[in-house]
Amino acid sequence: MKRILFVLIFVTMALASNAQFFVAGSVSAAYYSNSTTYEFGIIGNPTINSGFSVTPAVGYMIPGKSYGFGLGLGYGYLFSKIDNVGYDGGYKKIYTNSFEFGPFFRYAYAKFDKITLYVDAKVPISVAKQNVCRDGNAIVVEPGSNTFSIGGRLIPGLTYKFNNHILFTTEIGLLSLNYMYTRVSTSSGAVDVTNDFKLGANTRQTAAFGFVYLF
């Protein structure tokens, strides 16, 4: 038993010493506007949206192999303002806070001198909560919706190696493959369930980048 225990400890230490642990983080920002155009060219309900997200991650790549595993966490904030709401011409502001938990599998399929191309298979699980503020004849704060979602995502990316420890990384969202199950519960008790399958990311996301530190 002592010999078996010694061998197990030795194998575990050998695997840990060969594993290439890393911590990573990315930041994304978004800003876009839209409105509804009615008959005779009348424009109603102009909307402005802005937000950001922060997604740290930890994981490891096994030296000599082209794959690794990891876990990502995320926080996102989105602010939306809708003008000309109701007959009093007021506005509505929506504040959305979201949190995401996402294990992933990474496969590096092409390596060059400083650039590595990879694809991530992710299982994002997220919750989001909205708060709504209306301003017509009087300011009214009311609860918004609660959202739960889970899905799968294949998204390619690349890393650029600055040195033996620091890498720049970016994801190519326009080439991603996404499936998402979403359940939205409103304050009135209504429930809306959607299943969304699409190719490509939200093109309104204006910036996405990150850095990786290898131990």
**Domains: count for the chain:** 1
Task: Specify the pLDDT at position 9.
Answer: 44
Q: Which domain holds residue 135?
A: 2-214
pLDDT band with cut points at 50, 70 and 90 for residue 39: low
> Both tokens of residue 190?
């209504």
- Average model confidence (pLDDT) for the chain? 79
Task: Specify the pLDDT at position 89.
Answer: 58
Pairing of strands 166-171, 125-135: unpaired
Task: Specify the pLDDT at position 28.
Answer: 80
Q: What is the DSSP letter of 200?
A: S
Site of tokens 């809306």: 192
- Are 118 and 103 contacting, i.e. CB atoms less than 8 angstroms apart? no
What is the pTM (predicted TM-score) of this model?
A: 0.72
> Both tokens of residue 81?
């303002």
Q: What is the pLDDT of residues 85-142, one digit of tens each?
A: 555 556 788 899 999 999 999 999 999 989 999 999 999 999 999 888 877 555 556 6
Task: Specify the pLDDT at position 125.
Answer: 95
Task: Check which CATH number belongs to the domain holding 17 and give it.
Answer: 2.40.128
- Least trusted range by pLDDT, from 2-16, 62-76, 113-127, 130-144: 2-16
Task: Specify the pLDDT at position 190.
Answer: 85
Task: Say how far apart CA 38 and CA 206 lie, in whole Å.
Answer: 28
Task: Specify the pLDDT at position 5.
Answer: 44
Give the residue from 147, 104, 98 showing the smallest Cα distance to 124: 104
> CA 201, 205, 207, 210 torsion: positive or negative?
negative
